[in-house]
Amino acid sequence: MSNPIDNRYSLLLKEMFQRVVIQKQAKLQKKYYHPEFKLYANGTVQEYKEYEKLHEDIYKTDIQYKVDIEKETIIDGPNGSSMRVFITTSKPGEAPKEIEVILIATFKDNLIYRLWELTYPDWTKMNTFKDHLK
């Protein structure tokens, strides 16, 4: 009898969004991301150190995040998870901006190893993040 695929990877992603992104705890990135992590986003590639530094810098600002995972889009597999996520960013004096994210995450040693994402709008071109990118 085969075992059903568990949902540990989507649960880890949900936990990471809550603890790292929403609570802006950059120091917890090491708990969720593999040291060989790579992000492939909208035609760009970031290595772990660049990704870590970007989030450390952004989390020091007054930005706030709201994350909504569309439950019916979650697909868990033996090495990862995919889902559709809506991330709303807000800063004082600015209108909130919603970013739709389609992501595929693979894991190694129960840490996020690779993350492929397409976002609309393209977060790498938004002023909120563009100033922090190399």
Interval 59-105: pLDDT, tens: 999 999 999 999 999 999 999 999 999 999 999 998 999 999 999 99
Q: Which run of H or of E encompasses 37?
A: strand 33-41
| Model confidence, pTM | 0.90
DSSP symbol at 93: T
Q: How far is CA 5 from CA 16, 27, 68, 77, 81, in A?
A: 20, 31, 23, 6, 11
Per-residue pLDDT tens for 17-46?
999 999 999 999 999 999 999 999 999 999
Q: In the predicted model, is pLDDT for residue 3 greater than 60?
A: no
pLDDT at 132 over 70: no
